[in-house]
């Protein structure tokens, strides 16, 4: 039964996720068509031949376009988070929840299934967002420089290798630590985000009225508390690194420390709220 529940939940959430992924892809295709169009090239040619001011203006407009594109994708991703929260609340704590809680599975398994499937689709969408933004950025740079897409990718690999070598030899800093932290954050954050969201909505069940609204307010409160908690933890790391000097190696290590602290804060709050959700659903369930 648990396997069937995973399969059903994955498919139900996947319908909305695939729709948003299609929108992601469609917006990217439109952007790519514009970047390879004669219109974009005419703008680039006009700005490059009209002095420094227009060249700078053209670069600023290109940057604004990229930021707008990125913000649209991020906004759609937040929309998916809202959808996950709405679906979780409806299936667990509203009228639909009466049917959900009659399934022959443990309460803890219900929370696990919803968290894992929601986090998995969040991870897929996050990776897709990274790939699409990187693709459009690379394509735009290639068109502005009159290079092919693959030439830019090849040059980027060389430049990145040179940059890593400089950090290792010149600043004495190994970028592999940052890469590991970035990878861990990318893989873990979708699941912690979903666990925190579901846990906050579960906290709203302690309200006598407007449980959904209280769940939203609880989510905002949890995010604020998590930021404060991460700031307090990060303060100690900042003071320790500051006492070691201000050379580039220390600054890079400080950035890694803050990144690690932020990740730890997410994991701690996610674990607390995850097990709290299980406790509430199992022992203190109070549906509308």
String of DSSP letters for the chain: -HHHHHHHHHHHHHHHHHHHHHHHHHHHHHHHHHHTSHHHHHHHHHHHTSHHHHHHHHHHHHHHHHHHHHHHHHHHHHHHHHHHHHHHHHHHHSHHHHHHTTSSS-HHHHHHHHHHHHHHHHHHHHHHHHHHHHHHHHHHHHHHHT--HHHHHHHHHHHHHHHHHHHHHTS---THHHHHHHHHHHHHHHHHHHHHHHHHHHHGGGSSS-HHHHHHHHHHHHHHHHHHHHHHHHHHHHHHHHTT--SHHHHHHHHHHHHHHHHHHHHHHHHHHHHHHHHHHHH-----
Identify the residue with better confidence: 22 or 258: 22
The C-alpha atoms of residue 242 and residue 251 are separated, in whole angstroms, by 9
The set of long-range contacts for 165-172, using a CB threshold of 8 Å and a minimum separation of 24, is 167/252, 170/248, 171/247, 171/248, 171/249, 171/252, 172/249
Q: What is the model's pLDDT at position 175?
A: 64
Is 233 a residue whose pLDDT tops 80? no
Is 254 a residue whose pLDDT tops 80? no
Q: What percent of the chain has pLDDT over 90?
A: 21
The set of long-range contacts for 98-101, using a CB threshold of 8 Å and a minimum separation of 24, is 98/287, 101/281, 101/285
Average pLDDT of the chain to the nearest whole number: 78
- Token pair, residue 41, equals 């090239």
Q: What is the model's pLDDT at position 223?
A: 86
Q: What is the model's pLDDT at position 161?
A: 63
Q: What is the pLDDT of residues 159-182, one digit of tens each?
A: 666 655 655 655 555 567 777 888
Q: What is the model's pLDDT at position 139?
A: 84
Is 17 a residue whose pLDDT tops 60? yes
Is 54 a residue whose pLDDT tops 60? no
Q: What is the pLDDT of residues 38-49, one digit of tens each?
A: 766 666 665 555
Q: What is the model's pLDDT at position 53?
A: 47
For the ranges 115-119, 138-142, 177-181, 228-232, the one whose mean pLDDT is highest: 115-119
- Token pair, residue 115, equals 């968290």
Q: What is the model's pLDDT at position 198?
A: 92
Q: What is the model's pLDDT at position 196?
A: 94
With 0.85 as the threshold, say if the pTM is over it: no
Average pLDDT of 185-199? 92
């Amino acid at each position: 039964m648990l396997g069937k529940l995973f399969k059903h939940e994955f498919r139900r959430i996947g319908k909305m996720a695939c729709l948003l992924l299609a929108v992601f892809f469609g917006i990217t295709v439109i952007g790519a068509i514009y970047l390879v169009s004669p219109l974009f090239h005419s703008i680039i040619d006009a700005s490059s031949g009209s002095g420094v001011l227009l060249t700078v203006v053209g670069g600023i407009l290109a940057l604004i376009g990229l930021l707008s594109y990125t913000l649209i994708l991020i906004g759609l991703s937040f929309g998916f988070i809202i959808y996950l929260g709405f679906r979780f609340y409806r299936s667990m704590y509203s009228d639909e929840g009466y049917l959900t809680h009659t399934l022959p599975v443990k309460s803890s398994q219900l929370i696990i299934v919803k968290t894992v499937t929601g986090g998995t689709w969040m991870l897929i969408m996050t990776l897709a967002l990274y790939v699409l933004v990187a693709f459009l950025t690379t394509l735009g740079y290639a068109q502005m420089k009159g290079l092919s897409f693959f030439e830019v990718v090849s040059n980027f690999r060389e430049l990145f290798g040179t940059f890593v070598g400089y950090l290792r030899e010149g600043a004495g800093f190994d970028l592999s630590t940052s890469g590991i932290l970035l990878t861990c954050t990318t893989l873990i954050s979708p699941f912690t985000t979903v666990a925190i969201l579901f846990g906050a909505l579960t906290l709203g069940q302690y309200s006598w009225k407007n449980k959904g609204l209280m769940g939203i307010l609880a989510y905002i409160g949890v995010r604020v508390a998590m930021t404060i908690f991460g700031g307090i933890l990060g303060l100690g790391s900042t003071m320790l690194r500051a006492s070691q000097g201000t050379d580039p190696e220390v600054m890079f290590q400080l950035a890694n420390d803050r990144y690690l602290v932020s990740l730890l804060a997410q994991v701690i709050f996610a674990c607390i709220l995850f097990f709290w959700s299980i406790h509430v659903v199992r022992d203190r369930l109070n549906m509308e």
